[in-house]
Amino acid sequence: MTKHAMFYSPSPNLCRLNGSTLMQGTWQWFKLFVFHLIAILLLATWLWQPTRVLWDQLDVKIFHALNAPLASHPLWACIWAFGSMRATDIAVGVVMLSFFLKGDWLFAKQDVRAALFAFLSALFLLLVLRAGPFSMLVDKLHWQHASPSLVLVGAVRIGALFPHWDHVVQIKDSSGNSFPGDHATVLLLWAFFITPFASFRQRVLVWLLLALFLMPRLVAGAHWGTDIFIGGLFLGLVTFAWSFYTPFVVVGVRLLEHLFAPVIGLLRAVPLINRLSIIAGG
């Protein structure tokens, strides 16, 4: 093995699997424009008063339909109390990352590490956009609001139903600043990235998991529907476009490969661990 064998040097068609054209490292202006147009039109339906009324009505209907049964159905309440735990968010993260760990399932063995680094690069960009320009825009235009569990009369608080659980593991059932849904944005970005590489059955699994993972915040009332379907989706679309239809992700993959090359080289000498696709591949 040569000195540079541990480095992964992405080609212009990096991770071009199952016909996907993601991660080419080029400016794809048309797709960049289309994604931004969709995101802006979506946001416009929330800002334009005639359609905003419809969104507001839908917000209330979604909340009451999902939250009200907590008071009368103990099993429903127990399920979503578990789903609303902070610890469950960690488990969700593990499930998301597991899609990047097994070679020749979703990604070819030699592409697993690059795919993971690509998602982490996109996630970094999301955090920058969320904490920077988008946060300033939300504050400047006064888009921020409290969650439905703090606003609507008759809201059932999961934390109040399970006070001992809430004391020990912390249940997410409210937020004073619920727009956008950060949890949802990460999940949407993950689903957007996975989908082009997945088979039909894998896509069904990914989007079913997405729906399942989004539900706890809606049932508990920690977020309005529009925190997810407007704020989260808008930010997810913009982040996805700037990540994969510009050179950003490919540059990110190369940088992370360079930074982690010494660690990967050492792990390749560790029995069992060196069999993992993320270590052996690439």
Burial 219-236 (b: 16+ CB within 10 A, else e): bbbbbbbbbbbbbbbbbb
pLDDT category of residue 5 using cuts at 50, 70 and 90: very low
pLDDT at 3 over 50: no
Residue 222's domain spans which residues?
29-280
Q: Residue 2: what pLDDT?
A: 38
CB atoms within 10 A of CB 26: 12
| 3-state SS assignment for residue 13 | coil
Q: Residue 168: what pLDDT?
A: 83
Domain count along the chain: 1
Distance (Å, whole) CA 136 – CA 55: 23
CB atoms within 10 A of CB 101: 17
pLDDT average, residue stretch 245-258: 94
HSE (side-chain half, CA atoms, 13 Å) at 219: 23
Amino acid at 185: T
Asked, for residue 161, whether it belongs to a domain, the answer is yes
Asked, for residue 23, whether it belongs to a domain, the answer is no
Q: Residue 20: what pLDDT?
A: 60
Q: Residue 21: what pLDDT?
A: 64
Asked, for residue 10, whether it belongs to a domain, the answer is no
pLDDT average, residue stretch 215-225: 97
pLDDT category of residue 9 using cuts at 50, 70 and 90: very low
pLDDT average, residue stretch 24-39: 94
Asked, for residue 92, whether it belongs to a domain, the answer is yes
Q: Residue 234: what pLDDT?
A: 98
Q: Residue 282: what pLDDT?
A: 60
Q: Using the 8-state DSSP alphabet, how is residue 196 labeled?
A: G
pLDDT average, residue stretch 14-33: 74
Asked, for residue 251, whether it belongs to a domain, the answer is yes
Mean pLDDT across the chain: 90
CB atoms within 10 A of CB 44: 11
Distance (Å, whole) CA 65 – CA 72: 13
Asked, for residue 106, whether it belongs to a domain, the answer is yes
pLDDT average, residue stretch 218-229: 97
φ, ψ of residue 85 to 5 degrees: the values are -70, 145
Distance (Å, whole) CA 53 – CA 155: 21
In the block, tokens 């009332």 appear at 221
pLDDT category of residue 15 using cuts at 50, 70 and 90: very low
Asked, for residue 8, whether it belongs to a domain, the answer is no
Q: Take residue 206 and report the two structure tokens written for it.
A: 């990914």
| 3-state SS assignment for residue 16 | coil
| Least confident range of 6-20, 42-56, 252-266 | 6-20
Each residue of 121-148: pLDDT tens digit? 999 999 999 999 999 999 999 999 999 9
Q: Residue 279: what pLDDT?
A: 87
Distance (Å, whole) CA 31 – CA 248: 15
> Of 280 and 70, which is predicted with more confidence?
70
pLDDT category of residue 108 using cuts at 50, 70 and 90: confident
Amino acid at 26: T
Asked, for residue 59, whether it belongs to a domain, the answer is yes
Distance (Å, whole) CA 67 – CA 131: 30
Each residue of 32-89: pLDDT tens digit? 999 999 999 999 999 999 999 999 999 999 999 999 999 999 999 999 999 999 889 9
